[in-house]
Amino acid sequence: MTNVIAERVGGTDVTPASGGDHAEIAARVTGIHETVFVKAASSDLAVRSLRYELQASRAVTVPYSPAVAWDFETDGWLVAAFEYCPGPHADLSPGSPDLGLLRAALNHLGELQAPGHVPWFSPVARLGFTDPAMDGDTLVHTDLNPANLIVTPAGLRIVDWAYTTRAAAWLEPALLAPWLIGSGHTPEQAEIWLAQTPAWSTTTPEVLDRFASANAAKWAAKAQQLTAAWVHDLAAWTGRWAAHRSTKPASR
């Protein structure tokens, strides 16, 4: 596999990615022809996920989504190369200038319909719980955690379209709330920021209450079973958001 990659890019200098949990291999690969970001998978589950990500990435042709450069399969491996996005992960703490970049992308995403030719995840398949209010035809990335947001000299890039879902537009800001809280916002600050994106008000406060509570219950259950730090972080952040919504005045 590595020699096929080397041939494509013209020699290789491989730097593994610092973040991310899912791909078996994720690395920057530099050769004389190009620098690309390569993800590779061999287990059934990882191959299926990477295949879906390729399909989604090819269907999402917005400037903030890195283009697919090429892909191939060999010796049981699926290897996919994406446009390389140089730069740090976005800082989503209160007052960060990266929030302005994210807002612009969020507002644009909220208006995009999911193209019809991809078998997109449904909300229940993606999240493991259901609510008719989550159904819709908007393209929802569903994983705008800071490690999937790269601030490049050319602007914000959103990577990792492996969980993209066809759903109601409000789901994107709702799934972002815990990450804002994890980046230092109070739940109230997070909601004030999120309320400025039009998608937020395409649903009712009651639906957001139900969502925050179901999402927190899901991550609390996962935290009972798993020791990974990020699971416990998400359980804490989704829990804080749900607690905030359950104690608010009825009119929000």
Ligand X SMILES: Nc1ncnc2c1ncn2[C@@H]1O[C@H](COP(=O)(O)OP(=O)(O)O)[C@@H](O)[C@H]1O
| Residues lying near ligand X in the complex (CB under 6 A) | 17, 19-23, 26, 37, 66, 82-85, 147-148, 150, 159-160, 162
Comparison of 20 and 31: residue with beta carbon closer to Mg ion: 20
Integer Cα distance of 99 and 207 in angstroms: 25
Number of residues that this document lists for the chain? 252
Distance of closest approach, residue 143 Cβ to Mg ion, in angstroms: 7
Does position 164 interact with Mg ion (CB under 5 A)? The reply is no
Q: Which is nearer to Mg ion, 20 or 205 (CB)?
A: 20
The size of the interface with Mg ion (CB under 5 A), counted in residues, is 3
Q: Which of 20, 87, 115, 155 binds Mg ion (CB under 5 A)?
A: 20
Closest CA to 41 of 13, 84, 93, 76: 76
Cβ of residue 22: shortest distance to Mg ion, in angstroms? 7
The shares of helix, strand and coil residues in the chain, as percent rounded to the nearest 5, are 45, 20, 35
CB nearest Mg ion: which residue?
A: 160
Helices (H), the chain: 2-9, 44-59, 98-109, 123-127, 171-182, 187-194, 205-225, 229-246
Contact status: 160 vs Mg ion (CB under 5 A): yes
The residue (of 138 and 148) whose beta carbon lies closer to ligand X is 148
Q: What is the largest CA-CA distance in the chain?
A: 62
Residue 99's identity, in one-letter code, is L
- What is residue 118's DSSP assignment? S
Identify the residue among 148, 197, 203, 238 touching Mg ion (CB under 5 A).
Answer: 148
Q: CB of residue 43 vs Mg ion: minimum separation in angstroms?
A: 17
CB 141 within 8 A of CB 149: no
134 binds, options ligand X, Mg ion, none, Cβ within 5 to 8 A by partner type: none
